[in-house]
Structure 1
Amino acid sequence: MTAIEGIDVDTDAAKLWISETFNAPDADIVFQSSDSHQFYVHRKNLEVNCGGFDAEEIVAQGEVNLLPEAASTLSLLFQFIYPNRHPSLEKEGFEVIAPLAYAAEKYKVFAAMNICHIRMLSFIPTHPLDLMKYGAYHDYPKIVDAAAPLVIGTATLVEVAQSLPSQMIIAWIQYYQAWLDIVPLALHYQVYELDDCTIIASSKGKKGKPYSSAKASNV
């Protein structure tokens, strides 16, 4: 086995692990994860269910194809290329779903892409910048739109610029500036709670005096 950039592969066979699920004797392709786990899969399943594996780059039987993903990700990913019940991702956390979602997009494992997209939506409140990056790079505009307001208060302009594709940076700066323009205006308004309604109005009356006819609380 040989090493490729970004992967430290130990050539000592005693330190390799063979997947308990993907070890069919008639499998004609061997993949090895970044943490030295090997997966024996069938070429025909890759050809039918994936669009991201280049058939010309996959080496012949008896050799090993090195992948940068961890075994925990590949063991889930490869389950989606076989005609079996797919794994339930309902209880998996962000640390499991995120790398799986990126791998599904990278290798175009179509059966996994949609369920990963659905699960990633649930992490917008807790990982808005990560989700906006995922949506931006993989063409999920609804995720970008949903995450963007939350990113404003949780990440700096530099952090966002480093996370987005270059073609989106100008749009983000304009969006960010629009929020900065709104904040001073919002601070000049108060919510007034009357007996039968709630009024949002300027903190000063028409003559420049504070309202005194209602109980006010700052927004």
Structure 2
Amino acid sequence: MSRVRLPPVFLQHAHLRAGSQSAQPTTTNRDCPSEGCKIPVDIILRSSDGKSFGAHTKNLEVFTEGFPPADLANRSDQPEMEVVELPETSAILELFLKYTHNQRQPDLGKYPFAVVSGLAEAAEKYLAYSAMEVCRIQMRAQAQAHPMDVLMYASKHNYPDIRDAVAPFTLGLSLTKMRKDLAPNLFIAWVQYREHYLHAIQTVLSSPPSPMAQHKGGFWTCEGWLAFDSALLAKLGGGTFTLNDIRAFPTLVDQLMPLHLKDCAPCARRAQSWAVSASRTLSAAVPSFESCM
């Protein structure tokens, strides 16, 4: 039986077999996974975990650029439908095929991040434009929860806006992990970006505002300020500051002020001034990640 001729972009990611056994256990269900679809199935896509899905060569041609034209796939001398083995899991492949139909798109907010990120990779790989933009939006929304995955996705597929958005959330990751997982040029850019934050931290912590007014007895610092300062250090890891901690500095100040400084107006103003100056310092001192590339 002759094989379907695939363009180079597709050959990198698929292996075709006709009438052979997969290394993974397979299912016999070859229906189209798109609910209500009445288009005849003329090709079988098999996931990495052995599940087969019916698909339509014309739809794959229209909705993607990574699959061969339908007239190449539909050969009259083929006694059976070809089986195309893909590296995507069944959960990802089933979702991907829904984007090769003229129908309402699935709600990606209902799917686990691993499936959404896998769909995002499949959309980029097979050039499924109907899925690429919605995946880009979903990946950006997961920047704080999954910073490393989103950074690598944005860098691999050249989304500088997402890279800028996710970069601050990677600052709490270890230098060892970043060196191991990132490409050399991306790691160098990340280190340069991180250095700007380190300098900003030093500036913020070494320059609290001066006391606003003397307290009773001629003291410039009251017990409330000492309690506030101790609580702030405790919230920031007992003096062992991480880059993620320092980004939360202004928020922590706002949270601790009512607990420790509600009876001292001068110290409350001093704390507010510190939070404002910290925000300004961090905003002004740290460039976009893209500028470090």
> TM exceeds 0.5?
yes
Counting only pairs closer than 5 Å after superposition, residues 110-121 of structure 1 correspond to structure 2 as 110-121=129-140
Shift of residue 192 of structure 1?
A: 7.1
Q: Write the mapping of 1:1-219 to structure 2, written as runs, cut at 5 A.
A: 9-10=22-23, 15-19=27-31, 21=33, 26-54=40-68, 62-153=81-172, 155-190=173-208, 212=221, 214-215=266-267, 216-217=270-271
Change (3 A) 1:169 1:44: same
Question: Which TM-score applies when normalising by structure 1?
Answer: 0.75
TM-superposed CA distance for 1:184, in Å, is 1.8
Q: Tell me the distance in 2 between the aligned counterparts of 1:190 and 1:11.
A: 62
Q: 1:178 to 1:44 in 2, by over 3 A?
A: same
Structure having greater relative contact order (Cα 8 Å, sep ≥ 6): 2
More strand by share: 1
Mean CA deviation greater in 140-149 or 164-173: 164-173
Q: 1:166 to 1:52 in 2, by over 3 A?
A: farther
- Give the CA RMSD over aligned residues: 3.4
Q: By how many angstroms is 1:194 displaced?
A: 6.4
CA distance in 2, matches of 1:118, 1:37: 29
Residues 63-103 of structure 1: CA deviation (Å, up to 9, x unaligned) = 21110111111111111111122212233331321111111
Evaluate the alpha carbon distance shift between residue 178 and residue 41 of structure 1 in structure 2; reply closer, same or farther with a 3 A threshold: same
Of 119-128 and 83-92, deviating more is: 83-92
Following superposition, the deviation at residue 59 of structure 1 comes to 9.2
Q: 1:21 is aligned with what amino acid?
A: P
1:37/1:105 CA distance change after superposition, 3 Å:
same
Contact 1:58–1:65 under 8 Å retained in 2: no
Gaps spanning 5+ residues in structure 1: where?
196-209
Shift of 1:159: 1.9
- Using a 3 Å threshold, how does the CA distance of structure 1 residues 25 and 93 change in structure 2: closer, same or farther? closer
**2-structure distance, mates of 1:42, 1:179:** 51
Aligned residues: 198
Q: Which aligned segments of 4 or more residues in structure 1 are displaced greater than 4 angstroms?
A: 22-25, 54-61, 191-195, 210-213, 216-219
User: Secondary structure in 2 aligned to 1:139?
Assistant: coil
- Kindly tell me: are residues 102 and 12 of structure 1, through their superposed partners in 2, closer, same or farther at Cα, counting changes over 3 Å? closer
Query: Do 1:45 and 1:81's aligned partners in 2 also have CA atoms closer than 8 Å?
Result: yes
Q: How far has the Cα of 1:185 moved from its partner? A: 1.8
What SS class does the counterpart of residue 39 from structure 1 fall into? strand
Query: 1:106/1:126 Cα in 2 relative to 1: closer, same or farther (>3 Å)?
Result: same
Instruction: After TM superposition, give the deviation of residue 111 of structure 1 in Å.
Output: 0.4
Stretches of structure 2 lacking an aligned partner (at least 5 in a row): 1-13, 16-20, 214-218, 223-265, 276-293
